[in-house]
Amino acid sequence: MEPDGSIANGEVFFDSTLLAGSGAPDGMKLDVNGNLYCTGPGGILVLTPEGKHLGTIAPPEQPANLHWGEEDGQTLYITARTSLYRIRLNTRGIRP
Domain architecture of the chain: domains with CATH: 22-88 (2.40.10)
CB atoms within 10 A of CB 68: 22
Distance in angstroms (rounded) separating the CA atoms of residues 15 and 3: 28
Are 87 and 76 in contact by the 8 Å Cβ rule? The answer is yes
Distance in angstroms (rounded) separating the CA atoms of residues 90 and 62: 23
Q: List the single range of 22-26, 49-53, 58-62, 89-93 with lowest mean pLDDT.
A: 22-26
Sign of CA dihedral 20, 57, 37, 54: negative
pLDDT band at 24 (very low <50, low <70, confident <90, very high): confident
pLDDT band at 96 (very low <50, low <70, confident <90, very high): confident
Q: Is the pTM of this model over 0.75?
A: yes
If you average pLDDT over residues 31-57, what whole number do you get?
Answer: 96
